[in-house]
Structure formats: structure tokens, C-alpha cells
Structure 1
Amino acid sequence: MTKAVLWTAKDAETATGGKTTDDWTVTGISIDSRKVSKGDLFIALKGPNFDGHKFAQAALDAGANAVMVSDATGITDANKVLLVNDTMAALEDLGKAGRARSDAKIVAITGSVGKTGTKEALKYVLSQQEKTHASPASFNNHWGVPITLATLPVDAKYAVVEIGMNHPGEISPLVKLVKPSVALITTVVGAHTEFFKDEAEIAMAKAEIFDGLESNGTVILNRDNLHYFALARRAKELGIGDIKCFGTDAVSNYRLFEANIVTDGSAVRARVDGRDLEYFIGCPGEHWVLNSLAVLGCVTALGADPERASQDLADVTPPAGRGEISTVKLPCGDGTFTLIDDSYNANPTSMMAGIKVLSQSKPGEGGRKIAVLGEMRELGEDAAKMHGDLHHPLTSLEIDQVYSVGPLMAELDKTLPAERNAGHFDTPEDAIEPIKAALRAGDVVLVKGSLGIYVSKIVSALKSCGVVDNSTTATEQGQR
């Protein structure tokens, strides 16, 4: 299928104040020459340890229709160059222009945990009703948000933009680019605490998402979260009148009545803006249940159909690295095991959620519940204690075996009961072969850790043994 034109040379020139000498068109945007698609505009960004200008010609050779650079040295096809003073500033200008020409209703999402999964679920259910655009992967920072806006199709009716941060003051300028109709904060917990005095300070940093809200826009908050009242008060201080909430509390606009959580998802009974709904979401865990209410709240606030969206949630499954479930062949011998890939990121709250999902799984005959836990980053001075304290949920929820990975996880190694401690490793590479050798048919294995510890390498190594079926549940796997 032919891709729609995203930017003409003239439009890109006008948006950025740059100069070009040809009449090219582009159908996408890339900042990584290794991932360029045919027809892209490659933008050569600079950073402390990289300079995309070195790869501009390689991007053209890979099929890019044009490159945006501040220095055209080494580029053989001058007609495909959009020359600007500063590529980062020009990317922001392209994002502003992309937003300005769109009539899409946009949801901006932030939160300590659950941003990307909620974004993907909301994107899916909205796309079943109207053309919907969303941030790719975790494009939620100072370059990811402008790229999301710069790639916003002119004819999209809805868009979902994820906005992240790990320091105060990062969300405000980004959400002012987005200008959302709806601002959602999934929850506020102790993530990135290394850069904040306390959770209250994190909450106020998340509240920056209110700064760009359109007039008459809607704020959606987690009513069960400790910081709900502070966030609602901040929204009111900014003159925002439409404040909605989701959760188990009786006053919630999007209220959970009951959830039956199983290995491959959750059956939910809820009330959404006065309408009773029963639906299934294809993601296991209490956190997914609550965030499904946030999704339906956003759908309602946008004027889309929440009942249809609730039924479409059955087709939503966790993204890779965020709870994706796979049935995998054993590295040694016959049989299979179930792999829960939650390796993208971790903090104490999401770690607890992952452990709960594992505890609710059903291993096959002779199988065990096994946690492979990488260290949690950016937790500040209490990091060692937070890692050591993980022995409480691991023990109380009866996780059979625990592998710990990374220097900070040495604290868990010290506190974990010997009968549950399968071993500690400084690096994920060190852990791969011992884990492979110990696996047996029917096991359910959770792999979770912060991005920087790269326990995703363990996931890749285990999947290399052969994925049987990404949609197979632990129960089904045990019955084979």
C-alpha cells in the first residue's frame, strides 16, 4: 500500500525556516539511519555522544527521500537536503506545524507507571472507531513528542501522545506542543526518586501535563492514588473545571466493581459515566484492570463509544517488554515453559505488580513460578533497602525460585530465604546459561528489571530456543 505524503519540501521548508532546492516529498520521519524506511525524512540530531550528520548520506543510501541537517558536508545529493540552523529546534518547529494543521482530538498521557501500555490500549480501541495516531514505542521525551506530532496525519481524528520525565520541568514544554483535549495521569509512585525530594514533588512534576490542556479540556486522574487530591487541587488552581477520576472509590466516574484476574487477562465489571459494562481485557494484572478504566474514561471524554471500546479491549495484549506472554520451547529436553516478558522497566510499584501477575499464574504439572529480577534504577538513597525489601512479596506470594541480577539486587540476595534463592548474578549475560539449565516443563518465568540493566538479553536468549505461541496461556501450556 502506498504511504500518504506527510510533508512536501515546501511545507517542511516553511515549517522549519530551512532551505531546500528540490521538490521532494516524504512519508515518514526517522532519526536513526539504521531504521530508515523508504520515503523518510532523516533528521540529523546531535547529542553529547553522537552526531547524526555522520549518517545522513547513509540514510539517503538506505532510501530516505530527504535529510534535514545543519551541515551538508559529505552529502552527495544536495537536492535532497533541507538545511536548517539547528536540527533539534527545526524538529520542534515541524512538530508545532504538524499539530497546527491537525483537527485531531488528542489525549496526553503521563504517570509513574503504565504510560506506554495505556497508550497502546487506547490507541487500539480508538483506531477501531476512527483514524488514530499515537506515539511509537516510548517516544515520550524532548525529541519523541515532536516526532509524534510531526508524523500526525492531517486526516487523523484522534491521537494519543505519551509524555515522560525524570526531572521537574520536562513535561510542561512538551504538553504545550501537544495541546491535548484530555490529560491523563495513570498514577504517581516512587519512580525516578533519585531526582526528587519526595513523591509529592513527583506528583507536581506530573501535574505539568495540565499546562497545555485546551480550554474546556478534561483531566482524568487515578482516584485510588495517594496524590489524587493534590493533583485535583492543582488542576482547579489552573482553572480546569472538568476533572474526572477512575478507580474503586464510589465517587469514581469510571468505577471498578469487580475483576476476575486470570493468566491471560481479566474479566471486569465496571461503571463508566453511569453505564454498567462487563468486558475482558487481554492483559493480566490488577494494574491493567485499573488502566483499562482510564482508557474507557479517555474514550468517553473524547466523545467516542466506550461500550464498543470495552469490547475491543479483549484484543489488547501487553506490548513486548511490558508483560507479553509467550510459550517457549525448553532449552534442554522436551516440553515448553511460559515466559512473561516485563523487561522494559521497573520501580517498586511495577515490580510488585509483576510479582502479583506471576503469583496468579498457573504452572503446568511439575512447573514452578520463577522470577528473574533485574535491579531498579534511579531510586536514590533508599535504593538498597527497596531492593532488599522485595523478599517480603516474593515470600508471601509464594514465588518458588528467584534469580537476582545487577549490583543493587545483591541486597535481595542477602534477604531472600535460601529455599527461594536460585542465585545472584552481576550481569544478565552471567545469568543466561544457569537459568536455561534449570528450566523445566511447565515453569512460568517472569523477567523484569530497569531498562539499564538489560535483562531483556535474558528474554532474547530464552526466546531464541523457539517461541511456540505468543497468545498461549500458562494453563494451556501445562496441559500439552
Structure 2
Amino acid sequence: MSKAVLWTAKDAATATGGKTTGEWTVSGISIDSRKVTEGDLFIALKGPNFDGHKFAQAALDAGANAVMVEDTTGITDTDKVLVVDETMAALVRLGEAGRARSKAKIVAITGSVGKTGTKEALKYVLSQQAKTHASPASFNNHWGVPISLATLPTDAKYAVLEIGMNHPGEISPLVKMVKPSVALITTVVGAHTEFFKDEAEIATAKAEIFDGLDTDGSVILNRDNLHYFALARRAKELGLSNIKCFGTDAVANYRLFEANIVANGSAVRSRINGQDLEYFIGCPGEHWVLNSLAVLGCVDALGADTEQASRDLADVTPPAGRGETSTVNVPSGEGTFTLIDDAYNANPTSMMAGIKVLAQSKPAEGGRKIAILGDMRELGDDAVKMHADLYHPLSAMEIDRVYCVGPLMAELDKTLPEAMNAGHFETADAAIAPIKADIHAGDVVLVKGSLGIYVSKIVSALKSGGVVDAPTHPER
């Protein structure tokens, strides 16, 4: 089945201010020539250490219908070229044009943790009611957001976009581009503290998401979060009055009464804007329970069907790298073990959430609860203490064995008792062989760490023996 046309040559040239001689159309956008699919527009971005122009012809050879470049050096298919003044600026203009032609109601999501999982869950439940677009993976930065807007289908009714940041001032220009109907902040905690004085500064930066809302837009906040009042006050200062909240507090518009967390998900009893709802979300963990309330809050704010959305949450499972659970063959023997892949990112809050999920798991007879923990990055001056302090929850929750991976996790290694300590390794590669040799049938294994420590390599190595029961992900 052919893909729908996103941009004609004429429309793309008008949107970007560029020039083209061809009559091509494109159905997707790529900035990585290795991931080009047939029909894409390849955009040759430049950076301090890379230049996509070197791969423009390779992208065409791989099936791209056209390339956006600043010059045509090395390109033989000159009828498939859109020449612009500067590719990054042109990408932004293309994203702005994509937003301008769309009538979709957009939810913009930010927060210290939970952005991507919440985005995926919201995209799924909305897609069961109408055509819904969402930013792929973690396309939440200065190039990811305009790509998400440039690929927004003209007939989509809803869209869900994630907006991230590492520094103050990064969210505001992105959300002004997005122009959402709803702005959700999942929570504010000490992530990326390397670039901020304290959590209050992080909250101020997250509040930039309000900058893209019209005065009739909806704000949804975590009522249980320490920074709720500061965020609500900032929204009011900007003239936003439709402010709602989720959490366990009695005043929450989207309120949690009770949750029963089991191995394959969580049964929830809630009140959603005055309506009592009981539902099941196919993701275990307290953090997923709270974020499911945020999802239903967004559905409510959009005017969609919250009751149907609550039923559809049963089909939502954690994305790969963010709590995905699989049954995997034991690498060094017979039987299977359970693998919890939470290897995409980590900060103290998400680390605690992952450890809780492991603690609540039920290993088979003779099995153990094993945590493989990689460094948490961008924590600033408190990094050493934050790693060492992980000993307390690990011990209190009776985790059987802990592998420490990365230079900072050496601090945790120093505090672990001998019976719990499975060893410290400077790199993920060095840890693979000992871990594979240690895992037994019936174990439950959590792999968690920041992206830059590459504990995802351990996940891949453990899965190499064969995945017996892979999670089923609904079409997203």
C-alpha cells in the first residue's frame, strides 16, 4: 500500500523558501541516510562533527524521493533536489508550515520523567477514536519537534508531541511552534540537575510549555508534585485559567483512589472529572498508574471519550527500553527468565520506579530479583551521593543481586553488602559475560541506566539466546 503524500515539490519549496526543478512528492522525512525509507525527503543537517550533505546521494540511492540541501555537490539526481539557504532553518519552516495547514488538536507533553511512555499511551488510546499522529521515539528537541510537525498528516484529528530540554529556554521556541490545545507536565524532579541550580529552576524551565497555549488552552499538572503550586501560579500569570490536575490528592480532577499492581500491569480505581472509572493498564508500576491518570486527563481536555480510553489502556504496554518485559531463554542453560528492559534512560526518580517494579515482581521457584544498574548521567555535584544512596531502596526492597555498571556506579558498589553485590564493571561490554553466566531459570532481571552508559547492549546480549514470549505492542 502506497504511503500518503506529505509534501509536493512545490509545497515544500514554498514552505521552506527553497528552490527545486523537480516534480517529486515525499511521504516521510529522514535526517539519517542509514534509516531512509522509500519515499522520504532526506534533510542534510549540519553540525560541529557531521555534515549530512556527504550522504545526500546515498539517501537517494536508498530510496529517498528527494533531498533538502544547501548545495548540490556530489548529487547526480539533480531533479530530486530542494536547495535551501540553511537546512536546519528550512526544517523549522517546514515544521511551521505543517502545523499551519493542520486542524489537529495537539497535546504537548514535557516533564522530568514519563514523557515518552505517556505520549505513547495517549497516542494509542486516541488512535482508537480518530486519526492520531505522534512524535516518533524521543523526537523532542530542536530538530525532532519540527520533523514531528512536518510529518503531521493533514487529516489527523489529534496529535501528541513530546518536548524535552536540558537547559533553560529550550522548550519555549518549540512549544510556540507546536501551538498545542493541551499542555501536560508529567512531573518535576531532579533530572538534568547538572545544568540547573535546583529543582525550582527545572520547574521554571518546564513551565515554558505554557508559552505555546492560547488563553483557552488546557493545562494538566501533577497535583502530588512538590512544584504543583509554582507551576499553576505561572500558568495563571500567563492568563491561563483552565488548569486541571491528576494524582492522589482529594482535589485532583483526575484522582487515584486505589491501584493493585501485578506482574503484567495495574488495576486502577479512579475518578475522572467526576466520573468513577475502573480500568486496567498493561504496564506495572506506580509511575504508570499516575501517568495513566494524566492520559485520561488529556483525553478529557480534548473532548474525546474517557470511558473508551480507559478500556483501551489495557492494551498499552511499556515501550522497548522503558519497562518492556519479556520472557527470555537462560543464556547458559535450560529454562527461561523474565527481563525488564528499562535501559533507555535513568535519573534517581525513574531508578526508584524501576527498582519498585523489580521488587514487586514474583520470580519463579528458585529465582532471584537481579538489578543491573548503569550510571545516571547529568546529575551535577550530587551525582556521587545519589549513586551511593541507591543502597537504601535496594536493601529495603530486598533485591537479591546488584550489578553496577559505569564509573559513577562504583559509588554504589562501595556501599552494597557482599551478599547483594554481584560486581562492578566500568563498561556494559565488560559486564555481559559475567551476567550471562550468572542468570538462572526463574530469575527476574531489571536493566536500567542512562542512555550514554549503553546498558542496552546488555539487554541485546541477554535476548540473543532467544525471546520466548515477546510483549505485544498495539499499533502506534
Q: TM-score range by the shorter chain?
A: over 0.9
For residues 460-475 of structure 1, the aligned pairs below 5 Å read 460-471=460-471
Aligned partner of 1:356 in structure 2 is 356
Distance 1:317 1:188 in 2: 24
Aligned partner of 2:225 in structure 1 is 225
Deviations 1:162-205 (A, max 9, x none): 00001000000000000000000000000000000000000000
Q: How far apart are residue 471 of structure 1 and its match?
A: 3.4
Aligned partner of 2:433 in structure 1 is 433
Quick one: which amino acid aligns to residue 193 of structure 1?
T
Q: How far apart are residue 161 of structure 1 and its match?
A: 0.4
Deviations 1:247-302 (A, max 9, x none): 00000000000000011100000000000000000001000000000000000000
Residue 81 in structure 1 maps to residue 88 in structure 2 = no
Distance 1:255 1:304 in 2: 18
Q: How far apart are residue 382 of structure 1 and its match?
A: 0.7
Quick one: which amino acid aligns to residue 452 of structure 1?
G
Q: Secondary structure at the match of 1:345?
A: coil
For residues 366-377 of structure 1, the aligned pairs below 5 Å read 366-377=366-377
Quick one: which amino acid aligns to residue 122 of structure 1?
L
Distance 1:5 1:215 in 2: 34
Distance 2:147 2:286 in 1: 32
Aligned partner of 1:45 in structure 2 is 45
Aligned partner of 1:169 in structure 2 is 169
Q: How far apart are residue 418 of structure 1 and its match?
A: 1.1
Deviations 1:334-373 (A, max 9, x none): 1000000000000000000000000000000000000000
Quick one: which amino acid aligns to residue 323 of structure 2?
G
Aligned partner of 1:140 in structure 2 is 140
Distance 1:207 1:417 in 2: 42
TM-score by length of 2: 0.99
For residues 386-425 of structure 1, the aligned pairs below 5 Å read 386-425=386-425
Quick one: which amino acid aligns to residue 237 of structure 2?
E
**CA separation of 1:83 and 1:225: change in aligned 2, threshold 3 A:** same
Distance 2:229 2:215 in 1: 22
Q: How far apart are residue 112 of structure 1 and its match?
A: 0.1
Deviations 1:363-418 (A, max 9, x none): 00000000000010000001000000000000000000000000000000000111
Aligned partner of 1:211 in structure 2 is 211
Aligned partner of 2:4 in structure 1 is 4
Residue 380 in structure 1 maps to residue 386 in structure 2 = no
For residues 121-200 of structure 1, the aligned pairs below 5 Å read 121-200=121-200
Distance 1:370 1:326 in 2: 15
Residue 61 in structure 1 maps to residue 52 in structure 2 = no
Residue 262 in structure 1 maps to residue 276 in structure 2 = no
Quick one: which amino acid aligns to residue 438 of structure 2?
A
Distance 2:69 2:208 in 1: 32
Gaps of 5+ in 1: 473-480
Aligned partner of 1:271 in structure 2 is 271
Q: Secondary structure at the match of 2:409?
A: helix
Distance 2:74 2:430 in 1: 43
Q: Secondary structure at the match of 2:459?
A: helix
RMSD of aligned Cα (Å): 0.6
Aligned partner of 1:476 in structure 2 is none
**Count of matched residue positions in the alignment of Structure 1 and Structure 2:** 472
Aligned partner of 1:475 in structure 2 is none
Distance 1:375 1:340 in 2: 17
Gaps of 5+ in 2: none
Deviations 1:436-462 (A, max 9, x none): 001100000000000000000000000
Quick one: which amino acid aligns to residue 209 of structure 1?
I
Quick one: which amino acid aligns to residue 257 of structure 1?
F
Q: How far apart are residue 22 of structure 1 and its match?
A: 1.1
Distance 2:120 2:438 in 1: 35
Distance 2:319 2:288 in 1: 12
Distance 2:36 2:410 in 1: 41
Q: Are the aligned partners of 2:215 and 2:239 in contact in 1 as well (CA < 8 Å)?
A: no
Aligned partner of 1:478 in structure 2 is none
Quick one: which amino acid aligns to residue 53 of structure 2?
H
